[in-house]
Amino acid sequence: MAYLFTSESVSEGHPDKVADQISDALIDHFMAFDPSSKVACETLVTTGLVTLAGEVKSNAYLDVQQIARDTITKIGYTKSEYQFDAKSCAVISAIHEQSDDINRGVDRGNPMDQGAGDQGMMFGYATTETENYMPLALDLSHKLLQELADLRREMKDITYLRPDAKAQVTIEYSDDNVPQRIDSIVVSTQHDDFSENEEEMLNKIKTDIVEILIPRVKAKLPAKLQALFTDDITYHINPTGKFVIGGPHGDTGLTGRKIIVDTYGGKGAHGGGAFSGKDPSKVDRSGAYATRHIAKNLVAAGVASEILVQVSYAIGVVEPMGIFVDTYGTANVDMTDGEIAKIVSTVFDMRPYAIETRLKLRNPIYSDTAAYGHMGRNPEIKTITFKNAGREETVEVETFTWEKLDFVDKVKAAFSL
């Protein structure tokens, strides 16, 4: 029997994402000025206030207030009527030194003996549903909001948009798990109070979303996905009728509260650990990136059309507790999932320091991850200049390295494909 599956995304102006982006901007600055930094920093944003807290071991001193304000400016909270803007909000820091009890399990004389920064399990997932091996409903949700942000910044076709927004897509699947059509799309976007007539204002927003946003998103998709946009889609646009009050003024934001948006939209599984605000010694982050890298390369190599990979760690222990693989019955090799997992462990070194070096994680690459998902993004080599307290550091980095298909040949060789 056909079934429905739904995923959501939130924009860079969503309060939780504002918090994530500030935390990751701090990570990037620490990495730029001292790549050996150990950082776990959390952010809370609310009306007129940013609160920073966390633990740091670093040789770098940061002007955290300025970094927070620059991040808020980039997002678009620059007007006093938002009740949260970069120039006037208070920024309070309660960041302090990292516990020696935690650090002793991570730092070792031989870097390859570096222990995991915490216990826990991490999951990576990949599927052939989309060209970037991501679940379709989440991928479309991200694309809707990225396009909406582009429209907001263009200030041309739609001029009343504010930074906060959410999107949700429901896909109808066939019995054999193939997407058949888009059942419904939900878009809630913050907006200026541009008309005294609320019904007129809502009708204008609905029309612009359906007739401007949706066609722009659809036009950038491959033909097989464009075909899923039928005349039978149910649209829910700003269902409450009005969304003027938003962002941190409308809802308090916290780092790490959108972990399903950040990963696979409810497909696969999640170990529970957030990413933003954590340096790569925290396996919540690096382990999740590494398992995505494994899953994507396995699917691209043809091992299966859908794969979930789990890795688990104990704090201070170098080797993972184990690697688990679930192919959901889609394996193209004559092996059990357990046998596949054993081969995976010989192809991919999952020691924490090996992950850091393989994926180039001790670089300032994290701000780009903090909105519109950590997975399914395009790797890019870029040069970035960081400024802090009178210092300047220019670095060349490679982003989203865990999305590279650089192990496909090794996987094929290991599985005789």
pLDDT for 168-219, tens place per residue? Answer: 999 999 999 999 999 999 999 999 999 999 999 999 999 999 999 999 999 9
Cα separation, 144 vs 141, whole angstroms? 5
Does the annotation flag 94 for ligand binding?
Answer: no
Q: Which of 114, 238, 100 has its CA nearest to residue 164?
A: 238
* Poorest-pLDDT segment among 84-93, 98-107, 135-144, 187-196: 98-107
The CA–CA distances, whole Å, from 228 to 40, 167, 182, 183 equal: 42, 17, 6, 9
Residue 143 has, within 13 A of its CA and on its CB side, a CA count of 22
Cα separation, 203 vs 310, whole angstroms? 46
The model's pLDDT over 362-383, given as tens digits with 9 standing for 90+, comes to 999 999 999 999 999 999 999 9
Does the annotation flag 362 for ligand binding?
Answer: no
- Please report the pLDDT score of residue 276 as a whole number: 98
DSSP letters of 217-244?
Answer: HHHTS-HHHHTT--TT-EEEESTTS---
Question: Which two tokens mark 417?
Answer: 């494909």
pLDDT exceeding 90 applies to what percent of the chain? 91
pLDDT exceeding 70 applies to what percent of the chain? 96
The model's pLDDT over 134-155, given as tens digits with 9 standing for 90+, comes to 999 999 999 999 999 999 999 8
Cβ atoms within 10 Å of 396's Cβ, excluding its own: 9
Does the annotation flag 278 for ligand binding?
Answer: yes
Contact 383, 337 (CB under 8 A): no
The alpha carbons of the chain give a radius of gyration, in whole angstroms, of 22
Does the annotation flag 166 for ligand binding?
Answer: yes
Does the annotation flag 403 for ligand binding?
Answer: no
Domains of the chain with CATH codes? 3-9+136-245 (3.30.300.10), 120-127+280-414 (3.30.300.10)
Average the pLDDT over 91-103 and give the result.
Answer: 76
Does the annotation flag 65 for ligand binding?
Answer: no
Does the annotation flag 282 for ligand binding?
Answer: yes
Does the annotation flag 175 for ligand binding?
Answer: no
Cα separation, 86 vs 222, whole angstroms? 39
Does the annotation flag 224 for ligand binding?
Answer: no
Does the annotation flag 165 for ligand binding?
Answer: yes
Does the annotation flag 30 for ligand binding?
Answer: no
DSSP code of residue 377: P
DSSP code of residue 358: H
Cα separation, 327 vs 337, whole angstroms? 7
Question: Which two tokens mark 26?
Answer: 């701090």
DSSP letters of 261-322?
Answer: HHTTTTSS---S---TTB-TTSHHHHHHHHHHHHHHHHHHHTSBSEEEEEEEE-BT-SS-SE
Question: Which two tokens mark 364?
Answer: 């300032």
Residue with tokens 């059309």: 305
Does the annotation flag 274 for ligand binding?
Answer: yes
Q: Which of 392, 277, 355, 273 has its CA nearest to residue 25?
A: 277
Does the annotation flag 14 for ligand binding?
Answer: yes
**Is residue 110's pLDDT more than 70?**
no
Does the annotation flag 156 for ligand binding?
Answer: no
